[in-house]
A and B are shown apart, each in its own frame.
Chain A
Amino acid sequence: MATIELQKVEKKFGANHAVKPMDLTIADGEFVCLLGPSGCGKTTTLRMISGLEAVTAGKILLNGKNVTWSHPSERDIAFVFQFYALYPHLNVYDNIAFPLRAEGEKKEAVESRVNEVVDILRIEHLLKTKPGKLSGGDKQRVALARALVRRPAAFLMDEPLGALDAELREAMRAEIKQLHVAQNATTVYVTHDQVEAMALGDRIVVMSDAVVQQIGTPAEVYYDPANLFVANFIGSPGMNLIAGKLHDGRVQVAGGVDTIPVPVGYRNTLPAALNGAGDVTIGFRPESAILADDGDIAGEIYAVDMHGSYKLLHINIGNGATSGIVHVRADRMVTFPIGSAVRFSIDPKMMRFFDPQSKQAIQQEVTQ
């Protein structure tokens, strides 16, 4: 088992940064997700940890030992690829045994270790099958088994569920998490899917434009996003972000009728950040809005989505432009025709504030 530490690691392609200098310490047994849209540098980061990509600057420590310039095979790390990378001419057993045989293990040892991982992943019935005949989920199970059989110090996974369809992805996600719970191996997992990152990660590293935006637990990135990017990226749909104004110790939502008092946690920090008054971006999650006839904010229904266990109302609070649309979660039985007028309020405890210029979150004071 292993700890992984990145110290000021960066990567340039030509003059452009693929990853700007980043620090990250991963504890033994931790499951860390690198999350971000395509091109944000998450896969490059993973490849640098594995040694498949040489760093431009910085240090990578594995168990405290500098491995920045070690060959990938000397790092004791297993890599799981999105497209499985199984050897098509070998059957499942030989695929799983391959890394052990490469290390010159004895036949009996190979057999017992293969059987061990086959047991964990419940793929006994597939051992004689060639990869070409397997379903996507089974292929990824075999790929996981092949990674597991080496007993590596850490697992690196590059969108292992990216090629599966939605239903299977949900089931395999739970399986990977179960595997991690049982094995407790240090894992770095790359994904562009925030649901996956939230469900799996002990901690999430949110990246965008080659820069780490926030490192935190699922609850931290969900409830207290560090900036506007994270606020919008996490959640489905993301946090509603609307313009507002602070004056006289009260906040007014753009388009809103009433002013509301600044929520408790922000009583001091908000005026301090805005020098007393000024424009502010207000953030709230779809479930933090409450439909009410006397709500602070008025809008009209743009679209209504049925999601099974709930409905999502898309409410236009601007003046006809799509940018003025907020999403509000509502009971599954409510019905509104498109164009009808509604009002809602925001739960003050769940309100978040951002500086529209710097795009950074304004901190809350921890209340006793």
Chain B
Amino acid sequence: MRRRGAARALLAPYGAWAALFIVVPLGFVAYYAFTDNNFAFTFDNISRFFTARSVVDGTEVYTYLLIFWRSLKLALISTVLCLLLGYPLAYIMARAGDRAQKIMMILIMIPMWMNFLIRTYAWMTILQDTGILNGFLGALGLEKIHVIGTESAVVIGMVYDYLPYMVLPIYSIMAKMDVRLLEAARDLGCNGFSVLRRVIFPLSLPGVLSGVTMVLIPSISTFYISQKLGSGRFFLIGDAIEGQYAANNLHFAAAMAFILMVVLLLCMAVMKELTVRYTGEGERA
């Protein structure tokens, strides 16, 4: 009994920390989302998100649903690109020698140590019409391309920022994978591609799913990248929330944050369900 009491006493600071910085703020978000400026209960903020309309290029659209759809689309594209780039990279890293693994790990980590704003500005100077990329193409005698201010530029920025979050979980699963399982597959008649398809990929699924979660969620709610690399033409849900806060519309900003959170929680529930179904992990739990 005494030990239990001691354990509880030790846990208390963490409990207080969690309550103060996680539960209470979440409560505030919900409270603001469902109240008006006089703190009276209302659904108006929520319904505004779903019903507000505006005119873009001569057609009337649902303002926030369009922004949300755009965020979701760019986030999905970025996640798929991160997966396509990150999976082979993780595989190569896991199969490389100790030294090469360490070097590649550092190369992946270094950009993460730099400030997010600086990284985004760096991409602006690369992608601008008179930037490094076009200078390079020009020097090669090739036609210049227009990237900045397009959706592609936003996607490039997001992939660059979030790629490590895809690579690391997949890499950590692949590095731990039992080499004998791969030998067994070879022994039982698999060529190299078959081993990848029938053993390595299914076993790496938990890493893929956590990588997808870790990229999809921050990229849905991303902001700033879209303002700088999209030249402000591709307002994302993160930008919208930031804009409303800046305009001191705390209640509507909270409502959008609340809706985003619910959607992300649903996404995570689906991911979790997929993990269980395809790997059987947690089945006996």
A and B found bound together:
no
